[in-house]
Structure 1
Amino acid sequence: MLFGFLNLHKPAGMTSHDCIGKVRRLLSMKKVGHGGTLDPSATGVLPIALGRATRLLTYLPSDKVYRAVIRLGMTTTTDDLAGDVIETTEAGHITQAMLESALTHFQGPLQQIPPAYSAIQVDGKRLYDLARQGKPVPVKPRSVEVYDLKLLDWRPMGEWPEAEVEIACGAGTYIRSIARDLGVMLQVGGTLAQLSRTRSGGFSLVDSLTFAALETQLEQQQFRPIPPDVGLQILPTLTLTADLAQRFVWGQKLPIETHSGYLQVHHETEGFLGIGKYEDGHLKAKVVSAGATPTRNASNAEGTEG
């Protein structure tokens, strides 16, 4: 059974769920999950967990980086080009200075209203289902954070002025909402024209696999999952001696002074054991890796932090 992660380069035109289904078929396995939905029209990094690594998805870093093209002068039902055009407005007067000034308002902690077409649930129903039924509901703003926002290119010429930006943000941030709200601030309307996720936690676009590359590796029997500790590299690491490692795998509480919160736990010679959490003066196992059955020996019971 495969155990680890796949850094998939999601193509445009597929939902994240579609990608999971295709990975299941290619790898002939049922237990597959992803670490963050991408809209069907978006491309880029889609972290996929294989086998028991699906239990680790909760612990993946939530920070993400996107490249986006925002079209000004257009408002759509979905806040991207997949929706119907609601209104168009002349935007030829927008200058780079005006744009840069407006973009400063979209950095730091924000209160953001998600798009009407999104997977967020209200009373058990997803917003996009309600919107398609002609029953849109008011949505409360949500707290999100944008760590950095850079203007990469400004293209004022042509039918529609467009700004290419790079956005580093936390979990739950909708880039479509930023495009929409930027247009509102500039009083011309705005919508998302293009989106690519270039990083998600410890996974980057340059290291991602397209479906074609994955299929080639499988045909040549060269595919190997990314080890779980690579995807979880943001977490502190605690290395245990063999005796303590065995007790960790058995689910025993370990009286070890270490970092508070969640940690990667490793055997001193056999590698990744799972996820632990230090609380109430003890290390407790939260997730134990598949096949984590370290050999016990007579070494001293102690842990080392790394």
Structure 2
Amino acid sequence: MLQAKIPPSKTIKSIKRNISGVLLLDKPYGISSNKAVQIAKRIFSAAKCGHTGTLDPMATGLLPLCFGEATKFSSVLLGANKTYEATLRLGFISTTGDAEGEISQFTANAGNPTPSQCEQVLKCFIGRIRQVPPMYSALKHQGKPLYVYARNNKVIERPAREVLIHDIQIKSLIDNELQLHIECGTGTYIRTLAEDIGRALGCGGAYLTQLRRTTIDSFDLFQAQALSTLEAMDTMDRDDCLLPVDCLLQEFPAVILNESAALHIRQGRIISNPPDVHSMPEGNIVRLYDHQQQFLGLGEITDKQKIAAKRLLVNP
């Protein structure tokens, strides 16, 4: 008796939505920024999603994610100022600079510094300082991230780089556990800062036991959503958590175009003499809106006070 052939089952792919906006995510402990992107992308059934700068797996806190058209502007936050709450364990060192590495005590006689000693030392780290990037970082050497070499016990020479520390405040000091509030500029490695502070305090070193990012530029952790909260929402409430694309671009002045100029800029044509740009120097970047206040994208002031499209939304 011939047996009927059963066709192989086909995997039903979920329909991806072309949504655009910015999600302020409270990244949980233990997952990479890329993993957080993939989870958020699944939750929103989004066709396109990316982050604006990584947080280490052991770090938690504010991680803005860009969906759809917002990904065109995700690099804007890479140079933004950031704020962290960091907990340092003094007198111990870690192979990675944080709790993920192999921990060893520097010396049993390092002692615990007083609050006044900490305040004096921390003053030396405010302003422009030089840092040697950690081996466990995503900086690349000959096309490979440094952490790849570190995992193979290879040390690559790294030149010191200048970073800006705006402020450091002591939140608490209990025995050898120092909690700090840190406001810093782009490119600052808090793990390296922790190690340097530990050495400057005479403790031989320190490592991060906790790190939480609380602000990026004007965005605050209080505005952020947890992945578990988003998972429990219905689609409409979840989409309401997305901020508009132009929230990333508030540093640029806004220019309102009339109906004709908006059409021309969408067609890639240079528009001339908009009234809002008479006093703007050549090379300035501006936010462009149509006569209905709809965000179109970014433009650039050219010679003779004209505007050329720089980066526009596909479907504003």
| TM-score (norm: length of structure 2) | 0.85
Whether the 8 Å CA contact 2:69–2:245 is kept in 1: the answer is no
- Which secondary structure does the structure 2 equivalent of 1:47 belong to? strand
Kept in 1, the 8 Å contact 2:19–2:47? The answer is no
Deviations 1:24-74 (A, max 9, x none): 222223421100100101100101000121111122361111111111111
> 1-side partners of 2:167 and 2:23: how far apart?
27
Do the aligned partners of 1:265 and 1:274 also contact (CA within 8 Å) in 2?
yes
Give the alignment partner of residue 76 of structure 1, picking from 88, 94, 105: 94
Q: CA deviation at 1:86?
A: 4.0
Corresponding residue to 1:51 among 53, 68, 84: 68
The offset of 1:279, in angstroms, is 4.1
Q: Is the 2:21–2:67 Cα contact (8 Å) retained in structure 1?
A: yes
Structure-1 residue corresponding to 2:190: 175
2:121 corresponds to: 102
Q: CA RMSD in A?
A: 1.8
1:81–1:208 CA distance, 2 compared to 1 (3 A)? same
**How much does 1:290 deviate?**
3.3
Corresponding position: 1:142 with 2:161: yes
Q: How does 1:262-277 map to 2 (within 5 A)?
A: 262-277=285-300
Q: 1:303 corresponds to which residue? A: none
In the alignment, does 2:215 pair up with 1:199? yes
Equivalents in 2 of 1:115, 1:248: separation in Å? 45
Match of 2:141 in 1: 122
Q: Shift of residue 21 of structure 1?
A: 1.1
Give 1:99 deviation, angstroms: 0.7
SS in structure 2 of the partner of residue 264 of structure 1: strand
Superposition deviation, residue 80 in structure 1:
0.8
**Which of the residues 150, 172, 188 maps onto 1:131?**
150
Measured after TM superposition, the shift of residue 219 of structure 1 is: 5.0
Partners in 1 of 2:212 and 2:268 — Cα distance?
Answer: 41
CA distance in 2, matches of 1:104, 1:279: 44
Gap change, CA 1:51 and 1:165, over 3 Å in 2:
same
The letter of the residue matching 1:228 is V
Look up the match of 2:255.
238
Q: 1:243 to 1:147 in 2, by over 3 A?
A: farther
Partner of 1:287: 311
Q: Distance in 2 between matches of 1:279 and 1:111?
A: 37
Q: Distance in 1 between matches of 2:48 and 2:230?
A: 18
Q: Report the TM-score, using the length of structure 1 for normalisation.
A: 0.88
Aligned-pair identity in percent equals 34
Distance 1:74 1:279, change over 3 A: farther
- Measured after TM superposition, the shift of residue 276 of structure 1 is 1.9
Aligned to 1:301: none
Note closer, same or farther for the CA distance 1:254–1:154 as it changes in structure 2 (3 Å cut). farther
Distance 2:289 2:173 in 1: 48
Per the TM alignment, residue 222 of structure 1 is displaced from its structure 2 partner at its CA by 4.3
Residue aligning to 1:300: none
CA contact (8 A) 2:98 2:208 kept: yes
Cα distance in structure 2, aligned partners of 1:272 and 1:194: 39
User: Which of the numbers 60, 64, 72 marks the counterpart of 2:82?
Assistant: 64
1:35 corresponding residue in structure 2: 52
Conserved 8 A contact 1:264-1:275: yes
Asked if residue 162 in structure 1 is aligned to residue 177 in structure 2, the reply is yes
| Residue aligning to 1:190 | 206
Q: Does the CA-based 8 Å contact 2:230-2:238 persist in structure 1? A: no
**SS of structure 2 residue aligned to 1:8:** strand
- What displacement does 1:193 show? 1.4
Distance 2:300 2:76 in 1: 11
Q: Out of 101-110 and 90-99, give the one that drifted further.
A: 90-99
Q: Distance in 1 between matches of 2:46 and 2:178?
A: 42
Instruction: Work out the CA distance in 2 between the residues paired with 1:13 and 1:154.
Output: 26
Contiguous gaps of at least 5 residues in structure 1:
293-306
User: Given residue 269 of structure 1, which amino acid in structure 2 is its aligned partner?
Assistant: Q
Task: Tell me, yes or no, if the aligned pair for 1:202 and 1:234 is still in contact at 8 Å.
Answer: no
Contact 2:256 2:293 in 1 (8 A): no
Separation in structure 2 between the aligned mates of residue 238 and residue 167 of structure 1, nearest angstrom? 36
Cα offset, 1:135, TM superposition: 0.9
Query: What are structure 2's unaligned runs of at least 5 residues?
Result: 1-17
Matches within 5 A, 1:289-304: 289-292=313-316
- What secondary structure is seen at the aligned counterpart in 1 of 2:19? coil
Q: Matches of 1:218 and 1:180 in 2, distance apart?
A: 44
CA change 1:55–1:132 in 2 (3 A) is: same
Whether contact under 8 Å (2:87, 2:209) holds in the other structure is: yes
